[in-house]
Amino acid sequence: MSKKVIVEGKNGTHNIRISRQATNESNWSEDLEVWNRISQISTNDPNVEKVVNKKGEVKFKFLELTGYTKAGKPKYKNNSEIADVITTLAKKIANNNALEYDITYEDEVEFSMVLDLLGWLLEAPKKCQKFFCRNASRQSVDEDVQIQTVRDYTGLEVQKPTNGEYTVANGEIQNKKDVTEQKFARSVDAFIPSLSAYGFLKYSGPVGSVTSVHQVGESKSFIEECKQYCDKYQDGKIFFVQVDGGAGEDHLPEMLQMIREHSDRIFAGNSEQVIDWLNAKK
């Protein structure tokens, strides 16, 4: 598994950064191995199949020889790992190198082009190869690091619910599939059973990016939904927004201002601040 979670302290931003770096290094090592395997496949190998859907999107399939039957017939199995990497490289050609390969649309990419790309990619310096690898920012590393940081510095059991398992919406906590009005529904990213605590986790950066603005908006929406719940139910459930990264942390004063009279049950802060708040609730 490529994903690496490293916790060196309560600073969530630092932990996320070093975990992303370690994960990207692991991704490079694994992807390089797959690239080498693909480069050994012949251009006209009948076990490489190109499929194009109605939208013109390309997908490759690869049947790998696994052995032979007693009768001497070859046995094959679908190798999704190799197929997925071939597909990813094909899309990169269509998006970034269409002119170099004299094509216009994705469905024009052929396996021979992928092999040509790998011919020079495998000879390129490592620092260039990494631009073609899976990126840690798309592997949910950030949430895993934030959860593990809380575990390490509170000693609490912190669960990672499946997407939509717990959703705060319309003054209720329920499964996403049961939410009738989903416009402002926000799924819970972390759950602490012993405290009945529900957490919403975000890493926002760099400052000014479209993604960071969107994530701050999501955090504020979660706070509003939690306030509705607290107004409706006077129970022991508590909520926290765990935000790391400069873009998100810059907006923490606004979030705390939104919380105000609900501060006994709702909190917003970076990993270190959330840890201190949770420890005080034990």
Q: What is the pLDDT of residues 31-73, one digit of tens each?
A: 999 999 999 999 999 999 999 999 999 999 999 989 999 998 9
Contact 150, 167 (CB under 8 A): no
Q: 99-103, 203-207, 226-230: lowest mean pLDDT where?
A: 203-207
What is the per-residue pLDDT for 91?
Answer: 96
What is the per-residue pLDDT for 182?
Answer: 58
Tens of pLDDT, residue by residue over 181-226, are: 656 667 899 999 999 999 999 998 765 554 555 677 889 999 999 9
Q: Is 236 exposed, middle or buried (0-12, 13-18, 19+ CB in 10 A)?
A: exposed
253 upstream amide cis, omega within 30 of 0: no
Q: 37-46, 78-87, 171-180: lowest mean pLDDT where?
A: 171-180
Encode 197-231: b = buried (16+ Cβ within 10 Å), e = exposed.
bbbbbbbbbeeeeeebeebbeebbbbbebbbbbbe
Tens of pLDDT, residue by residue over 142-165, are: 999 999 999 999 999 999 999 889
Kindly state the DSSP code that residue 55 receives in the 8-state scheme.
Answer: T
Closest by CA to 43, choosing from 124, 132, 110, is 110
Question: What's the CA gap between 94 and 103, in Å, rounded?
Answer: 8
Taking 60 as the threshold, does the pLDDT of residue 281 lie above it?
yes
Hey, which bits of 14-126 come out as E strands?
A: 48-52, 58-68, 74-78
Hey, which bits of the chain come out as E strands?
A: 48-52, 58-68, 74-78, 167-169, 172-174, 186-187, 190-192, 197-203, 238-244, 266-269
| Percent of residues, the chain, with pLDDT higher than 90 | 80
pTM, 2 dp: 0.87
Q: What average pLDDT is seen over the chain?
A: 92
What is the per-residue pLDDT for 37?
Answer: 96
What is the per-residue pLDDT for 186?
Answer: 75
Question: What's the CA gap between 93 and 117, in Å, rounded?
Answer: 8
What is the per-residue pLDDT for 210?
Answer: 46
